Amino acid sequence: MSRPLCSSTRTVLHHYFRQQQSSLGRHEGVKRCLTRSAVLSNAPQQQPRKPRIVLSGIQPTGIPHLGNYLGALSNWVKLQKDASPDDELFFSIVGWHALTLPQNPAALREARSDMLAILLAIGLDPERSIIFHQDHNQDHVELGWIFDCVTPTGKLRRMTTWKTRLAASRNAGSEDEVDESLLNAGLFTYPILQAADILAYKATHVPVGEDQQQHLELTRDIAEIFNRNFSPSPTKPIFPLPEFMNTPSKRILSLSDPTSKMSKSAPDTSSRILLTDSPFQISKKLKRAVTDSIRGITYDPVARPGTSNLLTILAACLDKDVHEVAVAYASKGHGELKSDVADAVESVFKGPRKEFERIRGEKAYLEEVARKGAERARERSGRVIKEVRQALGLS
């Protein structure tokens, strides 16, 4: 039988074992930290996103309607809100594009000023974004002419939007009714000027609707042609290939003809809701909106275009999924749907409409915003034009 340990010996051994356990614990902790560090160092590192240069434009051809607002303008405000501090944002009022169709000079002058007021009223910030009149920057037309000289006419002939615009201006029932003898050179070549609008700032991202994607593809083609022929080397292209920026745009249809898009030029003024319409006018137009005689509310753009259009508008105004909204109205009638759509549209338009009425009268302020915006735009495009001229041998 072993002799029992004395108390002093037990004390010494107790301290010894505690020190050993503490030392082991520290070693295990260090081991775990080293292992965790190794895992983190071997994990794929997320690359920081490159700064974007975003550009979009709108024609000054009258007060924007609901389709313009939900399809483009409201998305510009979201882009500004969500943009990284390093992103550059350009929003242009494209007066030269407006000239591709006949314009009344006095009306165009007023429309240009009103469009700038509207962009400010909806929430675009001239300190954060570069807001300018396209026709205040001659670099657009110089670059446009240069691109005219490198773009094959075959690529232009494949463009289809000029037919759409010409048909709309003539109130034609379809593009088949368009007489090509009415096509002017400006309307035929305006996609090239649009490419110059984009590439003058080396824009990397362009938020456009489905009807303009064809033009963005042409812009990429023109950039590739120019880079291939004039860039210093294949690894140093002068122009980027701008990317289509997918934004949650809504295709809003005419209230009187839900088989076609809502349009400023449609002869029936009740077919569109303007940003400046009063609550009474909004309600009146929606009460007259074409639907169908089928009981209940369902979302079916093919079989029920009018009803589906109203659901699309309501969902966009409420920032909800259209199918979710349709389910909520399944057992309701068109009268209730139209009333709720009117309330939702008024809720969206009320603030911008009030702000627009205030700003549009401040002519000195609008002129100052336009002047500063043009200066900032020219400063950036001037560097690009200088590079292009050197590449071409013009300087």
Q: What is the pLDDT of residues 330-383, one digit of tens each?
A: 999 999 999 999 999 999 999 999 999 999 999 999 999 999 999 999 999 999
* The predicted structure's pLDDT at residue 9: 46
| pLDDT exceeds 50 at position 281 | yes
| Overall residue count recorded for the chain in this entry | 395
Domains of the chain: 53-171+178-251+363-392 (3.40.50.620), 279-360 (1.10.240.10)
| pLDDT exceeds 90 at position 295 | yes
- Mean pLDDT for the chain overall: 88
pLDDT digits (tens, 9 = 90+) for 31-43: 454 454 444 455 5
At 367, list the tokens.
């002129």
Averaged over 277-300, what is the pLDDT?
96
* The predicted structure's pLDDT at residue 266: 83
DSSP character at residue 45 = P
**Cα–Cα distance, 195 to 335 (Å, whole number):** 45
**Cα–Cα distance, 259 to 256 (Å, whole number):** 9
Q: From the centroid of its chain, how far is CA 43?
A: 35
* The predicted structure's pLDDT at residue 169: 67
Q: Which residues of 321-349 are buried (b: 16+ CB within 10 A; e: fewer)?
A: ebeebbeebeeeebeebbebbbbbbbebb
Work out the percent of the chain whose per-residue pLDDT is above 70. 85
**Cα–Cα distance, 106 to 52 (Å, whole number):** 37
Write the CA distances from 66 to 124, 325, 354, 371, integer angstroms.
17, 19, 16, 29
Confidence of residue 171 (pLDDT cuts 50, 70, 90): low
Confidence of residue 186 (pLDDT cuts 50, 70, 90): very high
Write the CA distances from 173 to 176, 179, 192, 267, integer angstroms.
8, 13, 27, 12
pLDDT digits (tens, 9 = 90+) for 118-137: 999 999 999 999 999 999 99
Higher confidence at residue 33 or residue 319?
A: 319
Q: What is the DSSP string of 8-36?
A: HHHHHHHHHHHHHHHHHHHHHHHHHHHHH
At 348, list the tokens.
């969206």
* The predicted structure's pLDDT at residue 5: 46
Q: What is the DSSP string of 320-384?
A: --HHHHHHHTTTS-HHHHHHHHHHHHHHHHHHHHHHHHHHTT-HHHHHHHHHHHHHHHHHHHHHH
Confidence of residue 172 (pLDDT cuts 50, 70, 90): low
**Cα–Cα distance, 41 to 392 (Å, whole number):** 48
At 167, list the tokens.
């048909």
* The predicted structure's pLDDT at residue 49: 76
Q: Which residues of 365-378 are buried (b: 16+ CB within 10 A; e: fewer)?
A: ebeebbeebbebbb
Residue 193 and residue 97 in contact, taking contact as beta carbons nearer than 8 Å: yes
Averaged over 84-107, what is the pLDDT?
96
Which residue, among 299, 300, 311, 296, has the nearest Cα to 344 in the 3D structure?
Answer: 311
Higher confidence at residue 172 or residue 29?
A: 172
Averaged over 157-170, what is the pLDDT?
75
DSSP character at residue 69 = I
SS3 252: coil
Averaged over 89-110, what is the pLDDT?
95
In sequence order, the 6+-apart residues with CB closer than 8 A to the CB of 90 are: 53, 54, 55, 56, 129, 130, 132, 201, 203, 377
Number of alpha carbons in the 13 Å side-chain half-sphere of residue 217 = 11
* The predicted structure's pLDDT at residue 16: 47
| pLDDT exceeds 60 at position 142 | yes
- Positive or negative, the CA dihedral 64, 67, 69, 71 is negative
Residue 268 and residue 332 in contact, taking contact as beta carbons nearer than 8 Å: no
pLDDT digits (tens, 9 = 90+) for 43-77: 555 667 789 999 999 999 889 999 999 989 999 99
